[in-house]
Structure 1
Amino acid sequence: MAKYVFKYWFEWGGTCLWSANEAARLDYDYAVDEQKLPISQKLKNLLWYLQAYHENMMDMDNAPDDSPWWTEEDTIIYNKKKKFAYDQLCNELGDDYEIIYCED
């Protein structure tokens, strides 16, 4: 059984990992700073990139609507990269961590 349980989804102005059990909240707080996780710098950079990519989806003049410059192709690319990062996260964190994939 995993010691830490996180939910994985991207939030505006936030992060992509959210504590889902008491152990995770105690050690990582609710909004998890991925920089504190035992994962590679390459994966940390990818998660940061995806968060920035996600931020560009919002129409800042008409939030929370999607940006008029955000295309269906952008959504496809973003979703593929998001799933890839999730798979990498599960692999690098190992059995002590359970990551629950949630849709944005």
Structure 2
Amino acid sequence: MGSTYKIRFFFDAGSGTCFWSGNDAARERFGYFIDPYSLPLDITTRQEVLDVITAYDEAFNWDDPGSASPIDPTVEVAINARSDAMLQRVREQLGEAFDVVDERS
């Protein structure tokens, strides 16, 4: 049987989240914007999600958001490494009912 909830994972600077509903079931339960505290994650993982979002927002070039690279490439590599580890924990904790799709580009 397939996953019930599809969750899209990507950063949107200043949004306060990195999780977005990807199907009707997820939208009905969480809305489009998914607050990490609404997901069945342990407190340590929730805090890591918020820390990664904060790191992304702090690294974002708010003076030139439309630039080809709004985040310093070296900092982006570090954020992506942290995000990869965090995303793995999120997937493990959410289980088979959730399909968390990495849509970072």
Unaligned runs of 5+ in 2: none
Distance in 1 (CA, whole Å) between partners of 2:58 and 2:18 is: 15
Give the aligned CA root-mean-square deviation in angstroms.
1.3
TM-score (normalised: structure 2)? 0.88
The 8 Å contact of residues 58 and 64 in structure 1, kept in 2 or not, is answered as no
The residue number in structure 2 matching 1:82 is 83
Name the CA distance, whole Å, in 2 between partners of 1:58 and 1:78: 11
Which residue number in structure 1 is paired with residue 40 of structure 2? 38
Q: Which runs of 4+ in 1 moved over 6 A?
A: none
* Residue pairs, 1:17-96, within 5 angstroms: 17-65=19-67, 66=70, 70=72, 72-96=73-97
3-state SS, counterpart of residue 98 of structure 1:
strand
Number of equivalent positions? 101
Q: Check the 8 A contact 1:19/1:25 in 2, yes or no.
A: yes
What corresponds to 1:99 in structure 2? 100
Q: Hey, what's the Cα distance between the residues in 2 that align with 1:82 and 1:64?
A: 22
Letter paired with 2:11: F
> Which TM-score applies when normalising by structure 1?
0.89
**Which structure 1 segments of 5+ residues have no match?**
none
Per-residue CA deviation, residues 56-93 of structure 1 (Å, 9 max, x unaligned), is 222222223425xx3x3312211110111111110000
Identity of aligned residues (%): 19
What is the DSSP-based 3-state SS (H/G/I as helix, E as strand, rest coil) of the residue aligned with 1:95?
coil
Q: Any idea what the Cα deviations from partners look like across 1:23-68, whole Å, max 9, x if unmatched?
A: 100000001011011101001000101111111222222223425x
